[in-house]
Amino acid sequence: MEASITLKKVGKLIDDKTIVAGLTFGIERGSLVAIIGANDTGKSILLKLLSGFEKPDYGNIFIHGFDMQKRKKKTRQLIGFVPHETDLDPWLSIEQNIRFSSLLYNVSDNDYNDRLDLFSNSLNIKEYLGEISSRVSYGIQKRAMLVRALIHNPEILVLDEPTGFMDAPSVRLTWDLLKKLKGEKSIIYVSNTLTEVEQAHDRILVFKDGKIIMDGNLDKLLESTLDYHQFQIEFENLNDELYRTLSNITTVVSPNKIDNVFHFYGRDRSVFFDIVKAASESLMIDLSVKKLGLIDLMDSEFAGGGLD
Amino acid sequence: MIRALLIRRFWLLGSNITSSVVLSFLFPMIIFIFINLSFRRVLVNAVYDIDFDTWIYPSMVMLVSVLSIIPSIFRDLFDLRIHKKVLTYLSLTPYSKSFLISSFLFVSLIEGIIMALVSLLLYSFIIPYPFTLIETLSFFFYLSIMIIFLGNIFITLSILSDKSATFFISIFIIVFFILFGSGLVISLDFFPLSINNILSIVPIAMIVSAMQSYLFSGFINWTITLIPILFSSVLLIINSILLRNKLRQ
């Protein structure tokens, strides 16, 4: 598949601290790529580099084959960027903000009207178009920013927390639109809402200390969890002695407790019977077993320490 | 981009139409009261035997015009920059930083000229208009140079300042200089010779001197006309570099 974005040994330093460390990877055209990772790992800086918001200290970024530093005019036309914080002009209306963007990109009046109509309907912000942007909620501003980013019909969308500040219906509308656009546009986004990432991705890049430590779709990423399951057992009384006993069972991995709930990982469900044996004199109130997801994968203790 | 910025400026004025109109008329009147009426008493002897109203007329219009460009530059390049709004988005559009700065300057120029026309209209009801059409056109030529030069200075301050106190104190110093050290209101001949020599090589004073030279004696001094234009061009390049560095682009 043809590359939409290619990074070659891209690095970024801020105050001599390495934020992005020699990244090399490509993103296919029309794909939906999620970037996840703990806070302050360089995800947003990576997005800023991809959008042209900041320039790399070394390495090259190619957008549709054009070097971003050498062909700024060409590459910037191809990108629509939505930053995390709202950056609309606070004294202009929502529509004026979007119109301003269309004027900057020389969008024709017909195209502007068609796209405004299409995207403002899709994101349900039509009734707010006449409102001064600083007087509407952040969630509406964020949706307006997405319309603004789409108004010049970019081929690449770079989104920092695309559903940030939004309520549940707005989140659904936003993902409905983005999933429709996938295929036609390459979409790269950063999100801390891992349930959203699980639902919306072709590929997930896991970022840590300025490097990509995992890369692939959800199934591929979860292969590294080696069929582990997450167990939660609620006891009537989980005292320290019982907790120590259960934690010492060899098949129990990464145990911890919250009140009377014993939480641990295990490779197969038979571990549950080891627990039942060890805690035969204690009353169990509730039990849940689930396959590991992204949240577990990203859990710092789990990801950092590993299971084996 | 220029069209987009002009339309945006129009929208912003429209969203505060009442205060915009009131201030557009009030500001020239304030300048008239504090510059014309007060200095008429201080400067008892008109300079070079030129009638005081004639001397002060272009100065008042120029003051109104150049001071009126400060709010929009402050807003676009300082306020919205430190609050990470609009300017950062503008910087991602497919235009160079020098074009971005030039566009802001062009919008300021249009705004300054409109304010000059408003003040000319207002003053024409109060004092007789002393200049011919050619002189008026030449005045607007020098006014444009002044707006571009000071616009560049205001942009430099907006980019370099990270705190509003720094910006406003710097602006205060410059306004003070325009009022009293540029020859716009008080002729530089009133200063001791050594100070006069220093002040007269400042580009702002050069523009004022070149304008007064043509308006009051019909002599075009190309040297002091071209030097500020050259300074403005250099400042434009410096501002483009400063903006690029500030935005880390």
Q: Is residue B210 in some structural domain?
A: yes
Of A298 and B8, more confident: B8
Q: A39: Cβ–Cβ under 8 A, 6 or more apart, which residues?
A: A192
Which residues of B fall within a CB distance of 8 Å from A72? 94, 96
Q: Which residue of A has its CA nearest to B95?
A: A73
* Domain range annotation of chain A: 3-223, 229-291
Q: What is the CATH number of domain A3-223?
A: 3.40.50.300
- Per residue in A127-184, pLDDT (tens digit) is 999 999 999 999 999 999 999 999 999 999 999 989 988 888 889 999 999 999 988 8
Q: Which of A87, A108, A134 to mutate to test the interface with B (most CBs of B within 10 A)?
A: A87
A3: three-class secondary structure by DSSP: strand
Check CB contact under 8 Å for A52 and B86.
Answer: no
Q: Which H or E element spans position A20?
A: strand A17-28
Q: Judge whether A43 and A79 are in contact, CB under 8 Å.
A: no
Q: Is residue B6 in some structural domain?
A: no
Interface check A154 vs B, CB under 8 A: no
Select from A222, A235, A230 the least CA-distant residue to A252.
A230
DSSP A204: E
Check CB contact under 8 Å for A55 and B249.
Answer: yes
Global ipTM: 0.84
**Alpha-carbon separation of residue B1 from A5, B96, B99, B101, B144 (angstroms):** 27, 11, 9, 11, 20
Phi-psi region of A149 (alpha: psi -120 to 50; beta: other; left: phi over 0): alpha
Report the pLDDT value the prediction gives residue B41, as an integer from 0 to 100. Answer: 67
Q: Is residue B147 in some structural domain?
A: yes
Q: Which of A103, A150, A158, A160 to mutate to test the interface with B (most CBs of B within 10 A)?
A: A103
Q: DSSP characters for B69-103?
A: THHHHIIIIIIHHHTT-SHHHHTTSSS-HHHHHHH
Domain A229-291 matching CATH 2.70.150.10: the answer reads no
Report the pLDDT value the prediction gives residue B42, as an integer from 0 to 100. Answer: 65
Q: Is residue B5 in some structural domain?
A: no
Check CB contact under 8 Å for B11 and A96.
Answer: yes
> In angstroms, what separates the C-alpha of A175 from chain B's closest C-alpha?
23
What's the domain range around B141?
A: 18-246
Using CB atoms and an 8 Å cut-off, which of residues 19-58 of chain A contact chain B?
A: 51-55
> What mean pLDDT do residues A287-294 have?
77
Between A83, A91, A105, which is nearest B12 by CB?
A: A91
Interface check A72 vs B, CB under 8 A: yes
Q: Which residue of A has its CA nearest to B83?
A: A87
In this structure, of A193-202, B90-99, B227-236, the range with the lowest mean pLDDT score is A193-202
Q: Is residue B87 in some structural domain?
A: yes
Cα dihedral: A227, A232, A238, A240 (round 10): 40
Interface check A96 vs B, CB under 8 A: yes
In this structure, of A197-211, A240-254, B144-158, the range with the lowest mean pLDDT score is A197-211
Exposed, middle or buried by CB within 10 Å (0-12, 13-18, 19+), for A132? middle
Phi first, then psi, for residue A70 (nearest 5°) are -90, -25
What is the total count of domains within chain B?
A: 1
